[in-house]
Amino acid sequence: MSTRPFFAAQVEEFIDRRIEATLRTIGWQEQVICYTGYASGTSLRILGRVILVPKRARSPLGKATEDLIHRRGFRNFFSTACVRAPFTITIGSLTVSGMTDRGGYIDQRVRDHGLPPGWQQVEVRSAGSAPALADVHVVGDDETFGLVSDIDDTIITTFLPRPLIAAWNSFIRDESARQAIPGMARLYKSLLARHPQAPVVYISTGAWNTHGFLSRFLKRHDYPSGPMLLTDWGPTNTGWFRSGWQHKAEALLQLTRDFPNVSWLLVGDDGQHDPNIYTDFARIAPDHVRAIAIRQLTPTEQVLAHGSTGMIDPDDPDDPVAGIPVVSAPDGRGLLTALDGLPQLN
């Protein structure tokens, strides 16, 4: 069997390399964009991207202008990746080298990083960029509770996957007009008040290009900070498009390897596949699931999202999911009421 990437991925990389070479000849320079990372006591995961920007974008005025432009969603999707670009990560006296993938993305593991639990920063730079600081949540090995949250229609209204509405939300609307789901931020803050050092991880099929917007959205609406595990839209090494279902399933399984002592509260919505993904994960790794909380979309949202009103209903007492609490409500307030009585979350 051939190990060569899917031809569409090869074509995309060829085009990206030609664009990158052209922009370098007219003076565009490298810039590192850092995404929020996470770590256990022994393993650190750094996420980010290396792109090309015009010189003015690296000045204070240019950065302010770029930030204003990026608040219109379409601008987030126009960037030039640095394909297979070398980079270094500096953690105190430790330096680790790596190389971006064909989309310019950084996903680097560092063993024995030596960082204490809590929020830390590490330095990331490419060969031609200024240093950038990446926020990292280091989770202590004694932590046993964590929160996994979907994004679309769980904490922010998007009506995915209806194409026209999703495109309008993602490309045209100013980000300040995007709506938060009522009560969800309060729900998450209440849970973290009981487990202040617990990891919070947001998993979504959304594009990495929206990371900046989503970070500002979380901060503006008082959601807890945490790493976001997003996707690279476009051709993959095996086909034309990535599988959203597979992305979420693999991200959940990876968390069990990164945090073997943590069991998670899984929060999603019934507009796409979250109930099925979470149920499948609970059957595979029941010891890593404390409870499942599903936000119920309104009938209108269900139609727009092409969702299903069916909820998880395990009838088989031998099914490992049968012992895992599943609650549902239309908003965060209702979910908080339903979860408050569960001993698993105390």
Q: What is the CATH number of the domain that holds 28?
A: 2.60.40.10
Which pLDDT belongs to residue 9? 62
- Same domain? 209 vs 85: no
- Higher per-residue confidence, 122 vs 77: 122
Domain-embedded: residue 97: yes
HEC profile for the chain?
CCCCCCHHHHHHHHHHHHHHHHHHHCCCEEEEEEEEEEECCCEEEEEEEEEEECHHHHCHHHHHHHHHHHCEHHHHHCCEECCCCEEEEEECCEEEEEECCCCCEEEEEEECCCCCCEEEEEEEEECCCCCEEEEEEECCCCCCEEEEECCECCCECCCCCCHHHHHHHHHHCEHHHCCECCCHHHHHHHHHHHCCCCCEEEEEEEEHHHHHHHHHHHHHCCCCCCCEEEECCCCCCCCCCCCHHHHHHHHHHHHHHHCCCCEEEEEEECCCCHHHHHHHHHHHCHHHEEEEEEECCCHHHHHHHCCCCCCCCCCCCCCHHHHCCEEEECCHHHHHHHHHCCHHHC
- Same domain? 91 vs 152: no
Domain-embedded: residue 2: no
Question: Tens of pLDDT along 56-110?
Answer: 755 554 455 455 444 444 444 457 899 999 999 999 999 999 999 988 999 999 9
Q: How many domains does the chain have?
A: 2
Most confident among 68-82, 135-149, 159-173, 321-335 (mean pLDDT): 135-149
End residue of a domain, out of 138, 159, 181: 138
Q: Tell me the CATH number at 250.
A: 3.40.50.1000
- Same domain? 193 vs 340: yes
- Same domain? 166 vs 103: no
Structural domain containing residue 99: 7-138
Domain-embedded: residue 1: no
Which pLDDT belongs to residue 303? 55
- Same domain? 179 vs 311: yes
Q: Which of 42-46, 204-208, 293-297 has the lowest mean pLDDT?
A: 204-208
- Same domain? 132 vs 150: no
Percent of the chain residues topping a pLDDT of 90: 62
- Same domain? 182 vs 164: yes
Domain-embedded: residue 255: yes
Which pLDDT belongs to residue 157? 84
